[in-house]
Chain A
Amino acid sequence: MYAAIIVLTVMGAGLGLGLGYAARVFRVEADPIVERIAAKLPGSQCGQCGYPGCAPAAEAIAKGEAAVTCCPPGGLVLAEQLAEIMGVELDRSAVRDADPGIAWVEESICIGCVKCLRVCPTDAIVGAPKMIHAVLPEACSGCTKCIDICPTEALRMRPIEVTLRTWRWHRPEGETRPEAAHV
């Protein structure tokens, strides 16, 4: 009887240690490409890509189910980065809007309902009940969640204003972007 106990104990301990060792050495990492993609996405969970949030979208992009151009707030820059991570050729014409734009409040119709404050993923809207709200332009991700929820359509999108500091040289005349040809 003692022999059986000893054999089983030794086997149990040996197999347990073996399994523990194997679990550490042969550990399968979570797909690193998903993490790399998730790190590039805006993280505002706006859902404009058709997925419930940025993490599911990252998984879908990694699997190839979603296009690298699916994120409107990220714009062309993000699409290019994702294309590089995924190693795919980027179809620039599929980028819906290179400039995601930002939200602003039409103050004459804002009723101060605070609905937009609650949905803003980056806390870019300031306000209080029965007070006119305002958007902090540098914190707005352009996700349009507030546009959809506003009961009076006081929130609108507009392109980011060009100033002397953000002005850039345009492309030389007569030199159209090659990707614009098939838009």
Chain B
Amino acid sequence: MFRLFGIRGGVHPEEHKHPTASRPIETLPLPERLCVPLAQHIGAPAEAVVKIGQRVLRGQLIGSGQGRVSAPVHAPASGKVVAVDDLPAPHPSGLPVLSVVIEPDGAQDDADHPVPSDPLAMAPEAIADFVSRAGIVGLGGAAFPSAVKLNLGLSGGAHTLIINGGECEPYLTCDDRLMRERAEAVIDGVRIMRHASGAEVALIGIEDNKPSAIEAMRQAAAGDDAVQVVAVPTRYPMGSEKQMVQALTGREIPAGKLSAQLGVVLHNVGTAYAVHRALRQGRPLVSRIVTVGGGAVREPRNFEVPIGTPLKALFDACGGFAETPDRVLMGGPMMGQWMPSLEVPVVKGTSGVIALTAAEVRKHPVQPCIRCSRCVEACPVGLLPLEMASRIRKSDYDAAGKLGLTDCIACGSCSWVCPSNIPLVHFFNFAKGELVARRAAEERTSGLRELAEKRQVRLEKEARIKAEKAAQRKRERQARAEAKAAAEREAKKQAREEQKQEEEA
């Protein structure tokens, strides 16, 4: 029996997983237009490599990755590029992001991507290179380029690869269905990733509220000692990186460090599946499984969706809304982001879209903190949410930072348990932004100071050169005047001599 370790804090929100957990993954019909943002990942945005009017094949490169931490973007369907323009991003602000708009022609011709004959015999770096070119990013939601993480594991001498099948957010079942239906493919992806990250063992952590998924994965991994499926207790936020690592290895990731520094790399089950598709079938990351859920949706279910599909198409395929949603979230209800409209597209990091009814959204008036410290008990990181919030209220962000604000994983457990309905996690997101903005402003000021100093140096140099040139001109003028005077003297002398000679003559 695998030995599990406890995690701190956590909460038990109602799961709401049953409406979608029992239904198989369905394929969504192609929408009329696909809007594919070029910045779907953490790091530098991709740069468009297609022109308006050009026909693209499914899987063809449309945006190339820029720099070390970046990911390329591929066409999710064959069709015509009709626009490369700034369009609203799937982000609470609704600010624009450069996107490639494709009108699918329905032919679904695939671009040709060569497949290695045996990925497990390849050099680990070559696998990471494949993963990078397939545009694979962390599909759990953070969308960090996976190849960078694989290389980090390899260079840091990782001994354990953890595959996160926690899926602790309520409503979401996309990973559950993936593991149930495509366990062989996921396990194959895990084997490839274990090889690529140089880890000795791969542990697949799955919350014990998904017995069918655990069973299917155990069967697929049977007979391979290097790949172990572990059932972890169901408690939010078990699917968070730090908590999953702690539950499976007993080691806590220190503040400000990466799991790779403990010799552990963590990837999502969806990422493992994407790796399998890229290396076995030559399919770059152009689609993903998305849970469409929430009380406002008539028939919630899971879809395999091409990246770039507008959210509206997903809800329409579920029979539309049974009642007007209070809000639409991308991700789960605990950490998901509020969506500004239904026109924004599904991106690589979209695990679910949730339309919540007014009854599902707790909207009670905010009351004063009664210092009951339930948030302290719930915090999985061991912070003091009430103390941090009181500092942030007074705009003392540095004091909140000293209390460990930057270690907050924004899981929302504190807000969830707060009997006074204080939006604690909102305070922390706000204050983290303030700290970042402050650092940026400081950097900007020091950069400007440098520019001003350089200008001063330049002005002094210019003045010096000007003075030197003026002095030189003066010298030259003097020299010319002297030469002229000398010549005149010489001429006079000669004239005198000539006169003398004439007189003598």
Does A129 have its Cβ within 8 Å of any Cβ on chain B?
Answer: no
Does A122 have its Cβ within 8 Å of any Cβ on chain B?
Answer: yes
A162 touches B95 (CB 8 A): yes
For B39, what are the chain A residues with a Cβ–Cβ distance below 8 Å? Answer: 164
A77 touches B430 (CB 8 A): no
Among the 9-residue stretches A59-67, A108-116, A147-155, A174-182, the one with 4 or more Cβ atoms under 8 Å from chain B is A174-182
Among the 9-residue stretches B150-158, B307-315, B344-352, B432-440, the one with 4 or more Cβ atoms under 8 Å from chain A is B432-440
Does B455 have its Cβ within 8 Å of any Cβ on chain A?
Answer: yes
CA distance A163 to B436 in the complex (A): 14
Closest residue to B438 on the A side, CB-wise?
A: A77
For B433, what are the chain A residues with a Cβ–Cβ distance below 8 Å? Answer: 168-169
For B96, what are the chain A residues with a Cβ–Cβ distance below 8 Å? Answer: 164
For A153-170 the 0/1 string (1 means CB < 8 A from B) is 000000000111011111
Number of interface residues of A (CB under 8 A): 35
Closest residue to A161 on the B side, CB-wise?
A: B95
Among B429, B430, B441, which residue has the most Cβ atoms of chain A within 10 A?
B441
A168 touches B434 (CB 8 A): yes
The residues in A between 92 and 138 inclusive whose CB is less than 8 angstroms from any CB of B are 92, 121-124, 138
B452 touches A45 (CB 8 A): yes
Q: Given A92-B395, A168-B437, A172-B427, are A163 and B95 also a contact pair (CB < 8 Å)?
A: yes
**For chain A, what secondary structure do more than half of its interface residues adopt (helix, strand, loop), or is it mixed?**
loop
Among the 9-residue stretches B180-188, B283-291, B378-386, B443-451, the one with 4 or more Cβ atoms under 8 Å from chain A is B443-451
For A20-50 the 0/1 string (1 means CB < 8 A from B) is 0000000000000000000011111100000
A49 shortest CB reach to chain B, Å: 15
A122 touches B366 (CB 8 A): no
B430 touches A168 (CB 8 A): yes
Q: Given A42-B445, A74-B445, A179-B395, are A172 and B426 also a contact pair (CB < 8 Å)?
A: yes
A43 touches B452 (CB 8 A): yes
B451 touches A77 (CB 8 A): no
Does B393 have its Cβ within 8 Å of any Cβ on chain A?
Answer: yes
B392 shortest CB reach to chain A, Å: 9
A164 touches B449 (CB 8 A): no
A169 touches B426 (CB 8 A): yes
CA distance A176 to B43 in the complex (A): 33
Does B17 have its Cβ within 8 Å of any Cβ on chain A?
Answer: no
Does A58 have its Cβ within 8 Å of any Cβ on chain B?
Answer: no
B455 touches A121 (CB 8 A): yes
